[in-house]
Amino acid sequence: MSRNILILGGSYFAGSALVDRLLQEKKGQVHTFNRNNIPLNLSEVNEIYGDRTDPFSVRHDLPYRTWDVVIDLCAYKPEDVEMVLELMNGTIGQYIFVSTISVYDHSAMLPLDGPQPNLGEYAFYAFDKIQTEKKLAQISGKKIRIVRMSVATIEKQGIPLPFSIDQHQIYSGTRLYRKFGFQSTPLVQGMEKTYGFYKSNLKKRSYKMDVLKKSRKFLIKSILEMELNMFQRVNGGPSAPCQEQPDAFKKIRGSIYSFWSLDMLESYYGDLIMAQRNNRNLVYEKYARMDNRIPPINKSPLIGKIVEIEQKWQEELKSAYPVVYRHTCRDRSVVKDGSDFKVYLASELETFGNKTLEKYYDHVKKAIDKGKNLSMEMLRRLAENSGVESLEKLEAVMQKQVNP
C-alpha cells in the first residue's frame, strides 16, 4: 500500500525541491497543503489548498487520512504546530518539523550539541523556532523528528533559495531566476523587509487568542445561517413562528451555541458541511424523527445520557421560572409543559455526528461536575441579550402579561 506523505508548504523553495525528490524516488503519494500562491501543477501531486494558520481550514480542508509522514516546512511559532497536531483529521505516523540552524550561535567548535541562539538583530526567527521545538517535545512523545537545514546542505541538494547568500557568495541566484523567473534579493535587504513585515503584523493581531475569538464568531454565524436555511426549507404543515422570524431563531439558537466550546462548534460545523454535500436537511430529519416518520438516524448510547442530564436541567428551570419556561422551552406540544422535550432533544442529537456527540457529552458532564445548569445559563443569557437584566425580572414581566 502506498504511503501518504503530507507536506505543509511544498510550493516553493525547499518544499518544491522536496516534492521533486519524493516523486523521483517514488516514496509514496505526495500531498501538499498550502495557500496556492505558487501552484505546482504536477499531476502526481495532490495539491490541497488551505491556510495552516486558520483553525477551520486545518480542520475542514485537510481530508481524513492515515498520514504516514507529515513534513512541516512552514511552522514558525509554537502555536503553528500545536494547532495542526490538535485539529487535523486522521492519524500521523511520523511528524517531521524542519527547524533552522539559526538556533545556533557562531562557533568554531563543531558539531554543536544543542541550541545556542544568537540574540542579534534578527533573533526572533531563531527564538521562535527554538520555542516550537520545545513545544513539540512536550506534546509529541516519540514520533517527532526535528531537522535543521544548513545553507551548505541546501546548496548541495540543489534547492533554489529565495534570496542569495551574498555575504558568503555561496549561491548566485541564477537557479532561482531559471525556476521562477525573478531576480533574487540580497540577503540583508530581504531580511530587513521580512522583519519589517512581521513587526507591523504583530501589532495588528494577538495571534492565537485573536484567531480563536474570530473563529468562534465565524462558526456560530455560519452554523446559524446553515440551520436557518435548512429550517426554512422544512415543509409539510403550517409555518412555525421561528421560520417567519429569522432574527428570533438566530437569537434563541445563538444563546445555545454561545456556551459551546470551540471544538464542539467546529465538529458540528463539519456535520452541517457534510450534510450539505450529501443533500441532507438535518432540521427536516429532526422533525421527521420527532413524528417517527423515518427510522433512527443514530443509535449512540450517549444520546440517552445527554437527554437525561438536560431533562433534569429543564425541570429545575420549569420549577424556578414557570412562565418563562412555557414561552421558551424546546417543545412542540400545545400545552408547552416540557413533556415533548426529551423527544425533541433526542431527535436533534440523532442528527449529530459521533464526534460531535462525544464532545457534547463531555461538555454537559463537565457542567454537571461543576454544579452548573446550562439550560438556566442559556436562558439567562438570552434574557440579557434581549435587554432584560435578569430571569427574575423577565418572569415578573411575563407573569403580569399572563395575569394582568
Helices and strands (DSSP H and E) totals, the chain: 18, 8
Whole-number average pLDDT of the chain: 76
Query: What's the grid cell of residue 40?
Result: 505546482
Give the residue, 64 or 213, on which the prediction is more confident. Answer: 64
Alpha carbon distance 319, 313 (integer Å): 10
Alpha carbon distance 153, 136 (integer Å): 24
Whether the predicted model's global pTM rises above the 0.75 cut: no
Query: What's the grid cell of residue 67?
Result: 498520514
pLDDT value of position 100 = 73
User: SS3 for 79?
Assistant: helix
Query: What's the grid cell of residue 123?
Result: 533573533
Identity of the highest mean pLDDT range in 117-126, 133-142, 271-280: 271-280
Neighbours of 108 (CB within 10 A): 4
Identity of the highest mean pLDDT range in 180-184, 217-221, 316-320, 357-361: 357-361
Please report which confidence band the pLDDT of residue 282 belongs to, taking 50, 70 and 90 as the band edges. Answer: very high
8 A C-beta contact, residue 184 and residue 163? yes
In this predicted model, what pLDDT tens digit does every residue of 120-130 receive, in sequence order?
444 566 777 77
Alpha carbon distance 105, 216 (integer Å): 41
Using CA atoms in the order 5, 11, 13, 18, what is the torsion angle rounded to 10 degrees? 20
**In what helix (H) or strand (E) does residue 153 lie, and over which residues does it extend?**
helix 151-156
How many percent of the chain have pLDDT more than 70?
A: 69
In this predicted model, what pLDDT tens digit does every residue of 202-236 receive, in sequence order?
454 444 445 455 577 878 888 898 898 888 888 75
In order of 134, 272, 291, 349, 352, the CA distances from 344 in angstroms are 48, 19, 10, 9, 13
Please report which confidence band the pLDDT of residue 171 belongs to, taking 50, 70 and 90 as the band edges. Answer: very low
pLDDT value of position 153 = 64
Alpha carbon distance 48, 57 (integer Å): 11
Paired with 96 in beta bridges are 71, 145
* Main-chain dihedrals φ then ψ at residue 383, nearest 5 degrees: -65, -45
8 A C-beta contact, residue 262 and residue 269? no
In order of 23, 27, 68, 94, 317, the CA distances from 2 in angstroms are 13, 8, 10, 15, 56
User: What domains can you pick out in the chain, each with its CATH number?
Assistant: 4-159 (3.40.50.720), 208-402 (no CATH)
pLDDT value of position 339 = 66
Question: Among candidates 98, 103, 102, 101, which has minimal Cα distance to 69?
Answer: 98
8 A C-beta contact, residue 328 and residue 262? no
Segment 282-311 shows an average pLDDT of: 93
Alpha carbon distance 55, 212 (integer Å): 8
How many percent of the chain have pLDDT more than 90?
A: 18
Please say if the pLDDT value at position 136 is more than 60: yes
**In what helix (H) or strand (E) does residue 47 lie, and over which residues does it extend?**
strand 45-49
Instruction: Point out the least confidently predicted range of 38-42, 79-83, 139-143.
Output: 139-143
pLDDT value of position 91 = 81
